[in-house]
A and B are shown apart, each in its own frame.
Chain A
């Protein structure tokens, strides 16, 4: 799949209503929203949320979708950043029934076409686009096309831990031993067998995680052109 295969779509600002809100971990908020005039999306795409103050000051951020396109609601998982202007509002102030400005779906590169055998190597809240890809794969009965390796510090902070485990993702904790795996970063020996037959790889996570994951994939012999990256957060 090349970019040329994906047709750009013009998006415009619309509004979305918070239908469900929960705080699944200490540092995340999960929102399920009804979006007015919603457009179809591909797994891996994101939405913008824009907040508007009484003096018309605005702040906007983009958040990856966790939901499948067939889901009647759009699901976002937002990490609450220290002093985060938008993430702090969504976690602490926003309530069910609130209406927010939204725009999407955005992004045509970090998307899965639902046909290419792929592997996601994702860390922390970077699991979100992989959750969307897994949900879509499950709906289409194409689970075998998508392998997910999800990395977190510990079970209590890995978003969507139970769903990822149920859908067959390999889960690696860097700080916690489990029955099947000692604590530690994913190794090339662990990853190599999972890469067999994969044509594309998706890396999503913090700048630090993405740098590690990219290097690991290259060490495993993945071609640079077969690695798609979405990273977030400061560069440290």
Chain B
């Protein structure tokens, strides 16, 4: 499309690090949610992996802390165009959860559920091989409530709406079933480097 008259832009310098159309938000971390922020005490929280698995499994707060911990350090990208560099999350790799539950060969997609009723859909390939976590610490401190605490999903290579806050269940399925934002016009996969923001991208 044509150049916008008079616009030169301010925020260059991270071209190789910023996916197209994104900007560096710096030190802040915007909060975007569609629902009231729930108050979930860790002792009430649990996570279930079920659907097409050999051993449907539920972890309590204590159970999940007994799994080998895993850390993500890197960047995150929100569909509303901010990116945040060098963030550190600690939790457990989704691989560890799936290894325990044993996905069946026909499990191709995952619907992540939150305790609020929020859902988001992902191909199982986007959750395995060290690409996804279930996390409870941010920057060495408990994950704040408004950012999904006590526990959220983290899939940093996709737009951040895929990283479901207040995650409570991973449901393995044969088919793709659009989640909350995906039914609301957002893209089914959400790869920031391909700028898959909305339906039709």
Chain A interface (Cβ within 8 Å of chain B)?
3-4, 6, 8-13, 15, 50-54, 57-62, 83, 85, 89, 93-94, 98-101, 103, 106-110, 207, 211, 214, 217-218, 224-225, 227-236
Contact = CB atoms under 8 A, between A and B. Distances in A.
B16 interface: no
Chain A interface main SS type: mixed
Interface string B49-87: 000000000000000000000000000000011000000
Given A59-B23, A229-B35, A234 B28 contact: yes
Contact of B198 (A11, A94, A230): A11
Chain B interface main SS type: loop
A218 B36 contact: yes
A89 B7 contact: yes
A230 B1 CA distance: 30
Contacts of B34: 109-110, 228-230
B36 A11 contact: no
A4 B183 contact: yes
A50 B182 CA distance: 22
A225 B180 CA distance: 14
Contacts, number: 128
B14 to A, nearest CB: 11
Nearest to A8: B185
A53 B199 contact: no
B35 A54 contact: no
Given A9-B185, A52-B1, A89-B7, A231 B31 contact: yes
A9 B21 CA distance: 22
B200 A227 contact: no
Given A99-B2, A227-B36, A230-B34, A109 B10 contact: no
Contacts of A233: 30
Contacts of A236: 28
A121 to B, nearest CB: 12
A53 B7 contact: yes
Contacts of B33: 229, 231
Contacts of B36: 214, 217-218, 224, 227, 229
